[in-house]
Chains A and B, each alone.
Chain A
Amino acid sequence: MLLDLFSILAIGIGAFFFLAGTVGLLRFPDSLTRLHALTKADNLGLGLVALGLLPRAETPLSALKLIVIWALVLLSGASTAQLIGRALRRGRK
């Protein structure tokens, strides 16, 4: 069905983003760039995975929770990346 195809596509791209983030983690030269690869790719990957699971949620409340999970991870991921980046810069001095 169309929804299944959409799920597979979204989850597939999401998993690919996780892979890309890990490749960045392994290959980037610097702590700050690795942090960047980690946060951006993983947040995007999680967003796509959550999007792909939306059609398979059991109740509308579950689907809403999936979106809240993604929003929460975006918010906390961005803030903690700032904190980690600051700690990295201070340590380098």
Chain B
Amino acid sequence: MNELLLAAAGLILFTVAIGLARILRGPDDVERLMAVQLLGTGGIAALLLAAYATNVPGVEDVALGLALLAPFATVAFINLLDSEQEDAEV
């Protein structure tokens, strides 16, 4: 059972890696924002699976924290983009 959990964690990590490679290469800055989104969701899933497989206690709190921090970082990035765009439009 633990082997299967680890396999799932590895698979999700693999997809996150490929997604990151694509997004970080992306043409715009805005595309790179999606990297935070991808890492947030995929990271939480892989984290939960790996922690359940290796019996690390208290991982749900870490995942809750990550779930709060991903939108926090995204909003900050969006604000940067918006102020850059406003500067460009003026």
Complex Cα–Cα for A18 and B44 (A): 12
Complex Cα–Cα for A68 and B31 (A): 28
Q: Count chain B CB atoms within 10 A of each CB in A34, A42, A57, A88 and give the residue with the most.
A: A42
A83 and B78 in contact, given A15-B11, A22-B15, A66-B48 (Cβ under 8 angstroms): yes
Contact check, B11 vs A81: say whether CB atoms are below 8 A apart.
no
Chain B interface residue number, banded: 35 or more
Contact check, A18 vs B85: say whether CB atoms are below 8 A apart.
no
A25 and B8 in contact, given A49-B48, A73-B67, A77-B37 (Cβ under 8 angstroms): no
The count of residues in chain A whose C-beta lies closer than 8 Å to any C-beta of chain B is 46
Q: Which of B5, B22, B44 contacts A25 (CB 8 A)?
A: B22
A53 and B48 in contact, given A65-B61, A84-B78 (Cβ under 8 angstroms): yes
Cβ contacts B24-49/A at 8 Å (1 or 0 each):
00101011011001101110110011
A56 and B52 in contact, given A15-B11, A26-B18 (Cβ under 8 angstroms): yes
Complex Cα–Cα for A50 and B63 (A): 11
Contact check, B15 vs A18: say whether CB atoms are below 8 A apart.
yes
Q: Which residues of A contact B75 (CB under 8 A)?
A: 80, 83
Name B residues whose Cβ lies closer than 8 Å to a Cβ of A: 1, 4-5, 8, 11-12, 15-16, 18-19, 22-23, 26, 28, 30-31, 33-34, 37-38, 40-42, 44-45, 48-49, 52, 57, 60-61, 63-64, 67-68, 70-71, 74-75, 78, 81-82, 85
